[in-house]
Amino acid sequence: MKEYVINVDILLGQVRAALERGDPRSAAALIEALRPADQAGVFDDLNPEEQDELLPRLKVEDSADILEELEDEDAAELAGRMRADELAEILDKMEPDEAADLLGDIKPEKATRVLDAMQDANEVKPLLKHHDETAGGLMTSAAIVLKTGMSAKTAISYLRKLTPDEEDIYYLFVTDRENKLKGVVNLRSLVTNSPTAKIADIMHEDVVSVRVDADQEEAANLMKRYDLLALPVVDVNDHLLGVITYDDSFDILEDEATEDIYRLGGISEETPSDLPLGQAVKKRLPWLVVNLFMALISAAVLSLFESTIAQMAALAAFFPIVAGVSGSAGTQTLTVTVRSIALGEIEPKNALKVVLNQFGLSLINGLIVGVIITLIALIWKGSGLLGVIAGVATLVNILSTAVTGVIIPLAIHKFKSDPALASPIIVTALTDALGYLAYLGLASAAIAWLI
């Protein structure tokens, strides 16, 4: 049995060594011995010149696998450097949905020339017209479709005849004469039923499908909810247009989670750590500038209390504590809310219940943290009053996050925007400003006893 974990670095070294000593054939053989995901892993780490030297030596099937497994941008870059006829030959061996995605990522004129040179262009063309992030953009053409009138035996010999190269078949969808989706047969019941049984009798009629214009996330969620390996895509009249397979839904769910993580971290989109500088600046700078202007609210509050600070500069020592701890509490509440919304666990209609729940939690946490702050002030600065003021300000501020941390993401969600995107900035800015207001407001009122 082959070891399943390959050491990409060692292999990369061997491939490079073969290329350097002018032996691209050996380099190709090393790559061809790997599984597709590993082939792409090694190939991706080569530099463009090495890739261009190696590619013509690989079997067309292997090149197709590599183009499927590479990240979209890397595949498009590589394809952009290839001749139209070479590319067409490889695309013919790719899954139609992957071929369509790649064609959508290269220059339109080139895509047209490649399509003209392809043999299976008819399988790919219908997939090109759907938006990338819809069910239609995700589906592949349904290669094997059974008809209600077939017998199990006919269906099996039909399968034998069609048997495509490497493609796995999970479910066999059944349509009527007008190509309307009628049911689904799984391969096992085809095998284990009597050969004379009619497909119409052994199929399940209760088949979950998705409309071609539905959002890709809806498709992925359906597949996850019902543990489906394949989801048929239909038009408004239930005509079967294609199939989404489980590996796509896998990728989407992971991408959506990554997107949420990035947005909560203040980055508009996925930015791999090796993104070109210009693009990375474009994705991160706007957030910093927005944050900067939101911080002006707090700056204005501090300016308002300049004379109080001038009277007692020691007040400043507690700024990071009041603002920092409340900021953390706000981020916690926000994170729970945003993830719960993404997983479909909370809705605007039960907002009040969630706020009350978070309020109770914030009250307990705020009281305990407030007491600790008071003690710190007493020990460090010898002032119980200063401590009480900082502690109460923190408590008030933490309580406020129970409201803002729930209401703001829910409101953004209600208006069909992504709550992970803008909530952190707004909640943080409000929490900060309110913290300074509460702390310095109380300190101003008590300034005579403080100094």
Furthest-apart CA pair in the chain: how many Å? 97
Q: Is 179 among the residues that bind its own copies (CB under 8 A)?
A: no
> CA-CA distance, 61 to 329, in Å (whole number)?
53
Q: Which of 10, 17, 352, 368 binds its own copies (CB under 8 A)?
A: 368
Closest CB to its own copies among 68 and 89?
68
What is d(CA 406, CA 394) in angstroms, rounded to the nearest whole number? Answer: 18
Contact between 414 and its own copies by CB under 8 A: the answer reads no
Count the site residues for its own copies by CB under 8 A.
112
* Shortest distance, position 257 Cβ to its own copies, whole Å: 3
What is the Cα–Cα distance from 42 to 310, expressed in whole angstroms?
63
DSSP 198-233: BHHHHSBS----EETTSBHHHHHHHHHHTT-SEEEE
- In the complex, the smallest distance separating the C-beta of residue 27 from its own copies, rounded to whole angstroms, is 21
Alpha-carbon radius of gyration of the chain: 30
88 vs 412 by CB, closer to its own copies: 412
| Residue 267 found at the interface with its own copies (CB under 8 A) | yes
Among 177, 206, 237, 415, which residue interacts with its own copies (rule: CB under 8 A)? Answer: 206
Residue 184: count other Cβ atoms within 10 Å of its Cβ.
22
Cα–Cα distance list, 431 to 112, 394, 396, 399, 438 (Å) = 54, 10, 10, 10, 10
Q: Per-residue x/- marks for its own copies, 184-203, CB under 8 A?
A: --xxx-xxx-----------
Backbone angles phi, psi at 265, to 5 degrees: -85, 5
Least distance (Å) between residue 206 CB and its own copies: 5
Nearer CB in complex with its own copies: 114/318: 318
Stretch that binds its own copies, among 21-29, 96-104, 118-126, 308-316 (CB under 8 A): 308-316
CA–CA distance, 106 with 84 (Å, rounded to integer): 11
Task: Tell me which of 225, 352, 384, 451 binds its own copies, using CB under 8 A.
Answer: 225
Distance CA 274, CA 266 (A): 18
Question: Which residue matches tokens 């938006």?
Answer: 131
The residue within the footprint of its own copies, chosen from 14, 148, 340, 383 (CB under 8 A), is 340
Q: Does residue number 74 form part of the binding site for its own copies (CB under 8 A)?
A: no
Q: Is 383 in the site for its own copies (CB under 8 A)?
A: no
269 binds its own copies (CB under 8 A): no
* Using rule CB under 8 A, residue 277 touches its own copies: yes
The answer to whether 288 contacts its own copies (rule: CB under 8 A) is yes
Query: Would you say 106 or 245 has its CB closer to its own copies?
Result: 245
